[in-house]
Structure 1
Amino acid sequence: MAYNHGYAGKLPVCQQENGYLQQQVLIEADISIGPVSITATRSEAVDFAWPMWYDSSTMLAGLGKPEVDPWGFLLPLAPLVWVGILTALLVGPTAVFLSSSCFSMKTSRWSSYLSNIYGFIRVLLQQDISVPADWWWERMVFGIWMMMTLVLTRSYAGNLMSSLAVRHIPQPYQTLRDVIDDPSATMIWQKNSINAEYLRVVKSGIIREVADLEDEGRLAYHTQMEYPRIVDTLVRQGEYVLFGIDVLLRNLMAKDFTRKGQCEFYTSRERHFPFSASIISQKDNPILPAMHNRMLALTGFGIFEEWFKTSRANSTKCLHPPKTITVNASLSLTNLWGMFVALAGGSVVGLLTFCLEVLTFRGIETFSVSTYDYTTA
């Protein structure tokens, strides 16, 4: 069933002329052959039957290629868990240091505190550690920490193995803001449509920001007849986004799935310009009450909605494409470069710490020698 193709009465429509939208008056007809979106301007020229279709506009974009998150080794544990581990590495050694200072005969020194931190880190990294046998409570603290780290490390290893087998399928353009903030993205809107007209007259808001993209060469207008070619050649690449009526975009995805057997597009979760549509007739048409009754029956029994689902094969196949897939393949350097960055960063920090320790040791040694010479003299 087509929409916006049949009109009744004197229905004004939009036409592009010299950069501005002008109105034309179509020839008179009895009724429309398909649902027409309801607007205040059109209601002045024709009568609408009971709304039979509700829809809105959204965006159609190409699915990205499956990829592994290079920082996926951080994902097995939630951010709060990482914060909890770091907190435990500070609180645990502090508690041991204070307890040793208050209840034992040991001399409280910062070297003892640093030694405790070093011991907790060794346990976390599953390395050996020696605990003095003077006080059993220290063994108890380290034993509890070992049990905790055992659960953490086993959970981390299991989740990491699972996450490395998962490929993420990017769906970056979910809102208009996502498209505006991406300098490489270009939007395509329907030429001579109501949405395009609103885009040219809006004065503020995010739609105004979208309109300003035309000055940057990131906004283009095309007709519905050009959509199949545009979707196949431009939108599929990932840098072009098609903005249009949801049902039209769903039909484009269904047609592509029927042809290729796989989902290569997705629609954004954000919706704009909600509208209702119905068939129309001339003003004060005597058959309008009968049209109302027919529309109520169609919508009340869900017949019209079922027509939309069955009019196009595979119309619901790609409505919710998967965001992740599981594969069994070798990992490459492009998938794991995040770990190598962490390794390089840790090595640099270790080298700087080593240099600081050497300089500190030499400074202390020089100060000790100079003090000894001064005292001897």
Structure 2
Amino acid sequence: MEQRWVKMTLDVREADIGLGPFGVSATRAEMVDFTREILTETARIMGGRGLPEMNPWGFLLPLAPLVWVGILTAMLVVPAVVFFLWSITGLRNNDDTVSSSDMFFCYLRVFLQQGSTVSPDPWWERTVLAVWMITMLVLTKSYAGNLMSNLAVRYIPQPYQSLRDVLDDPSVTMIWEANNAYVQYYRAVESGVFREIADLESEGRIKYVRSTEFPSSIDIFVRNGDHVLIAEDRYERVLMAQDFSRTGRCDFYSSRSRFLPFMSSMVGAKDSPLVPVISVGIKAVTQTGLYDQWTENYMPNATFCAHPPTKITVNTSLTFHNLWGMFAVILGGHVVSILILGLELLNVRLFRL
């Protein structure tokens, strides 16, 4: 629409200049002359911020995955090494037999802060056990403290940080400005991510609107979380600033990833003498920083929602919805225990037969 209007009005001399700014592209350059670029814009994804929620598997977060792996490895290696050392040194009496499983459960009980039934005899074994106890004490106290902090944290989802995130979620619809430079680009490419976006037109996952319809579109569609807006970063900041001025809340976010950089310029008719004259004025305005200053003055509340928090701290009662991950682990452990008990009973009965 934008391209057809520019071509029609400039060809019939209804207008001498198009203010825009318009994205510079080879297709448009065949119809009009571009002035000096005003700015270089990149597109970002604008989505609705979700409601604060707690991760039901948050009890695993106090320790990094590598730490969990290290603990499990140490619980297997340390008792195995100790069992191997005292078995070859012969320091234990013949009637004081301790199996490798007893040794493993000895260190496991220390990890779970339970009493131990195996008494260390050699001095080096007592030293190893003492070091293990101190390590587990520090670890469990650190875990408990971090867990208390995590239980008070709520996470605000911002799921769509790249185009791949949007493509992989079939429940979300993209909103683009109709027939702008971005749309012309992804309709022309033959492979890659933008080709996949073009293919979504046939699936009904792309909605085209005019730029004047952006405020109502984000209020009706994007705020609910099932639509995302793809537009220039600067325009998205304007929309978020206007929404904050109206509601006093930061209900939207912009993606971390940027894509589709385009230069934006004013346009004139082919071989128009106005284009080079206007380019000189644009150079003076941009190099002195006036354009950026005017833009910032146009959106006075833009900084309030520039970096909205992804985590908030609350003081409220925990519910089953917040802790179902812990109960799932407990239930899973009981199910596995019952299965193992059944196998042991079955093995005893078969052995007697």
Contact preservation (8 Å) 2:172, 2:228? yes
1:89 matched residue in structure 2: 75
Residue 27 (structure 2) aligned to one of 41, 45, 70: 41
Residue 88 (structure 2) aligned to one of 90, 102, 125: 102
What amino acid is aligned across from residue 221 of structure 1 in structure 2?
Y
**Structure 1 residues 93, 133: closer, same or farther in 2, change over 3 A?**
closer
1:9 matched residue in structure 2: none
What amino acid is aligned across from residue 3 of structure 2 in structure 1?
V
Residue 62 of structure 1 pairs with residue 52 of structure 2: no
Bigger RCO of structures 1 and 2 (CA < 8 A, at least 6 apart): 2
Contact preservation (8 Å) 2:177, 2:231? yes
What does 1:5-24 correspond to in 2, within 5 Å?
Answer: 13-14=3-4, 24=8
**Distance in 2 between the 1:180 and 1:194 partners?**
20
What amino acid is aligned across from residue 230 of structure 1 in structure 2?
S
**Distance in 2 between the 1:120 and 1:169 partners?**
40
1:254 matched residue in structure 2: 241
**Structure 1 residues 50, 351: closer, same or farther in 2, change over 3 A?**
same
Contact preservation (8 Å) 1:97, 1:108? no
**Distance in 1 between the 2:144 and 2:48 partners?**
34
Contact preservation (8 Å) 2:91, 2:122? no
Residue 126 (structure 2) aligned to one of 130, 139, 162: 139
1:302 matched residue in structure 2: 289
3-state SS of the aligned residue for 2:207?
strand
Contact preservation (8 Å) 1:187, 1:243? yes
**Distance in 2 between the 1:316 and 1:283 partners?**
40
**Structure 1: stretches of 5+ with no match in the other structure:** 5-11, 16-21, 368-377
2:211 matched residue in structure 1: 224
**Distance in 1 between the 2:43 and 2:236 partners?**
9
CA displacement, residues 309-363 of structure 1 (integer Å, 9 cap, x when unaligned) = 1112212321221111111111111111100001111111111222233333444
What amino acid is aligned across from residue 49 of structure 1 in structure 2?
T
TM-score normalised by length of structure 1: 0.85
3-state SS of the aligned residue for 1:310?
helix
1:121 matched residue in structure 2: 108
TM-score normalised by length of structure 2: 0.91
**Distance in 2 between the 1:98 and 1:53 partners?**
71
**Structure 1 residues 203, 287: closer, same or farther in 2, change over 3 A?**
closer
3-state SS of the aligned residue for 2:3?
strand
Moved more, 45-54 or 220-229: 45-54
**Distance in 1 between the 2:236 and 2:74 partners?**
52
2:150 matched residue in structure 1: 163
Contact preservation (8 Å) 2:25, 2:181? no
What amino acid is aligned across from residue 245 of structure 1 in structure 2?
E
CA displacement, residues 170-217 of structure 1 (integer Å, 9 cap, x when unaligned) = 111111111111111111111122222233333221111112222222
In the TM superposition, residue 273 of structure 1 has moved relative to its aligned partner by: 1.9
Q: How many residues align?
A: 350
Residue 150 of structure 1 pairs with residue 137 of structure 2: yes
In the TM superposition, residue 288 of structure 1 has moved relative to its aligned partner by: 4.8
**Distance in 2 between the 1:64 and 1:193 partners?**
29
2:39 matched residue in structure 1: 53
Moved more, 339-348 or 207-216: 207-216
**Structure 2: stretches of 5+ with no match in the other structure:** none
What amino acid is aligned across from residue 80 of structure 1 in structure 2?
L
**Structure 1 residues 287, 134: closer, same or farther in 2, change over 3 A?**
closer
**Distance in 1 between the 2:336 and 2:194 partners?**
47
**Structure 1 residues 108, 223: closer, same or farther in 2, change over 3 A?**
farther
Residue 326 (structure 2) aligned to one of 327, 331, 339: 339
CA displacement, residues 257-302 of structure 1 (integer Å, 9 cap, x when unaligned) = 1111110011112222211122334455555554333322322222
Contact preservation (8 Å) 1:58, 1:245? yes
Residue 73 (structure 1) aligned to one of 54, 59, 62: 59
3-state SS of the aligned residue for 2:257?
coil
Contact preservation (8 Å) 2:152, 2:314? yes
2:316 matched residue in structure 1: 329
Contact preservation (8 Å) 1:189, 1:244? yes
Residue 196 of structure 1 pairs with residue 191 of structure 2: no
What amino acid is aligned across from residue 213 of structure 1 in structure 2?
L
**Distance in 1 between the 2:170 and 2:19 partners?**
42
